[in-house]
């Protein structure tokens, strides 16, 4: 079968909830993808930062295979010999007392919301059903009904209501707006330290620190969604590390499994996550031994291959090179680590299609931004090649 036939299959049998580039990937390794016609592409998206460790990392493959032969799923009705080790390693690496494993990012966000609300009622003393969690314009936290209910993106919400109340929304990066939105019933502020889906948007310098301070002063939990920005992507382990900020609740996903399997987690200290009692929350696959074994290896790779440091060094270099491109269609280039947005004055899709022809796969985000977020294992040579492709796309 060729590309056209695969595309036709997707279109005929799949719901049309995505608009992908018409490239059909058959295999991948490291930073490179191969399509069904034998063309090779550099991956400029990393599955939205799920494959920070690179595609089909041999160590992850090995960890998955060896666990698959032992046991894959026990459910939480029984215990398994991988989950505890995974959570210990995760907690120690991130600096939290407890963790709760889930599968997809959206599930972890839902878990964080439930944890913050429970804390609000049981510890802060908010009256029943009055808890509020402040969210931001341009947010992306997933696609469940509760989560899309507080999106500022009209299309994400349209015809999916009624929605869960209790999520006042304010401008991203405006500390006064958050201060004004805090009430005695505010239990949390849910933020992406860098907004990936909104177009790699950064809050002003010092904002995260001021936000953490504001939360502390008002007895409000700072909930950091680092599903996309975390695990090395921004050149620090967590994007909040750039301002020495620590969320009261941390949400991880995507690269937590390096692309092999959906693994997400919520981390917090005992005073918050310790409030869950048996029966309060759960997931059939959450904490399963296969996912846990993969998660352990995904974290070990990040650490042992020094991917955070790599992202920092390579990112600084790439950003400087991309900023040199002088073209009227480019408004500006911004980024941290290997989390880079090329902001255009016009739609980005035609440029992404042009880059595709050149062998570099990027996806437009928010209409006019080209996001460049390659696997963190990318070589300097491949990065130089990618930079040349950007330069010629704008020549």
Ligand X SMILES: *Cc1c(COP(=O)(O)O)cnc(C)c1O
- Smallest CA-to-CA distance from 189 within 269, 130, 113 is with 113
- Smallest CA-to-CA distance from 84 within 70, 99, 96, 67 is with 99
Please tell me the distance from the alpha carbon of residue 372 to that of residue 173, in angstroms, as a whole number: 22
Query: Which residues are identified as catalytic?
Result: 140, 225, 254
Among 55, 57, 118, 141, binds ligand X (CB under 6 A): 141
Residue 110 binding ligand X, by CB under 6 A: no
Question: By CB under 6 A, what part of segment 54-83 binds ligand X?
Answer: none
Residue 132 binding ligand X, by CB under 6 A: no
- Mark residues 230-269: x for contact with ligand X by CB under 6 A, - for none: -----------------------x----------------
Residue 278: Cβ-neighbour burial (10 angstroms; 0-12, 13-18, 19+): exposed
Residue 197 C-beta: closest distance to ligand X, Å: 6
How many residues interact with ligand X (rule CB under 6 A)? 14
Residue 196 binding ligand X, by CB under 6 A: yes
Which tokens go with 241? 């590390």
* Residues, the chain: 395
Question: By CB under 6 A, what part of segment 24-53 binds ligand X?
Answer: 48
Please tell me the distance from the alpha carbon of residue 301 to that of residue 265, in angstroms, as a whole number: 18
Number of C-beta neighbours around residue 26 at 10 A: 12
Q: Which stretch binds ligand X (CB under 6 A): 110-118, 136-144, 323-331, 336-344?
A: 136-144
Please tell me the distance from the alpha carbon of residue 235 to that of residue 372, in angstroms, as a whole number: 14
Residue 223 binding ligand X, by CB under 6 A: no
Residue 109 binding ligand X, by CB under 6 A: yes
Residue 133 binding ligand X, by CB under 6 A: no
Residue 149 binding ligand X, by CB under 6 A: no
Bond prior to 162 in cis (omega within 30° of 0): yes
Please tell me the distance from the alpha carbon of residue 274 to that of residue 277, in angstroms, as a whole number: 8
Residue 225 binding ligand X, by CB under 6 A: yes
Residue 262 C-beta: closest distance to ligand X, Å: 6
Of all residues in the shown chain, the one whose CB is closest to ligand X is 105
Q: Specify the DSSP element, H or E, that contains 320.
A: helix 307-323
Helix, strand, coil share (%) of the chain residues, nearest 5: 40, 20, 45
Residue 50 C-beta: closest distance to ligand X, Å: 8
Among 67, 80, 82, 104, binds ligand X (CB under 6 A): 104
Applying CB under 6 A, which residues contact ligand X?
Answer: 48, 104-106, 109, 140-142, 192, 196, 225, 227-228, 253
């Amino acid at each position: 079968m060729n590309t056209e036939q695969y595309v036709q299959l997707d279109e005929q049998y799949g719901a049309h909830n995505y608009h992908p580039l018409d490239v059909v990937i058959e295999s991948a390794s490291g930073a490179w993808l191969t399509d069904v016609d034998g063309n090779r592409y550099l991956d400029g998206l990393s599955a939205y930062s799920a494959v920070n460790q690179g595609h089909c990392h041999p160590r992850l493959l090995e960890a998955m295979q060896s666990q698959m032969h032992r046991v894959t799923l026990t459910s939480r009705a029984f215990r398994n010999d991988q989950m505890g080790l995974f959570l210990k390693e995760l907690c120690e690496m991130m600096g939290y007392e407890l963790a709760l494993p889930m599968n997809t990012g959206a599930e972890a966000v839902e878990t964080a919301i439930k944890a913050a609300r429970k804390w609000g009622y049981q510890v802060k003393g908010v009256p029943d059903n009055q808890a509020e969690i402040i969210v931001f314009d341009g947010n992306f936290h997933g696609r469940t009904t509760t989560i899309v209910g507080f999106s500022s993106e009209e299309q994400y919400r349209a015809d999916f209501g009624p929605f869960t109340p209790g999520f006042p929304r304010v401008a991203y990066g405006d500390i006064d707006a958050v201060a004004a939105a805090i009430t005695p019933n505010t239990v949390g502020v849910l933020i992406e330290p860098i907004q990936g889906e909104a177009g790699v948007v950064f809050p002003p310098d010092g904002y995260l620190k001021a936000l953490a301070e504001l939360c502390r002063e008002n007895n409000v939990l700072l909930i950091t969604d680092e599903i996309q920005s975390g695990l090395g992507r921004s050149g620090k382990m967590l994007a909040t590390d750039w301002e020495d900020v620590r969320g009261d609740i941390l949400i991880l996903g995507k690269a937590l499994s390096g692309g092999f399997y959906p693994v997400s987690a919520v981390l917090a200290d005992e005073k918050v996550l310790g409030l869950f009692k048996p029966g309060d929350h759960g997931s059939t696959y959450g904490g399963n031994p296969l996912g846990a074994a993969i998660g352990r290896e995904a974290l070990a790779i990040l650490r042992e291959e020094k991917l955070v440091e790599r992202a920092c060094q390579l990112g600084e270099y790439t950003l400087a090179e991309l900023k040199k491109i002088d073209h009227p269609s480019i408004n500006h280039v911004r980024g941290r680590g290997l989390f880079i947005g090329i902001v255009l004055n016009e739609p980005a899709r035609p440029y992404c299609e042009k880059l595709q022809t050149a062998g570099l796969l990027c996806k437009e985000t928010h209409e006019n931004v080209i996001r460049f977020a390659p696997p963190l294992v990318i070589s300097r040579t491949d990065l130089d090649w990618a930079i040349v492709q950007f330069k010629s796309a704008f020549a």
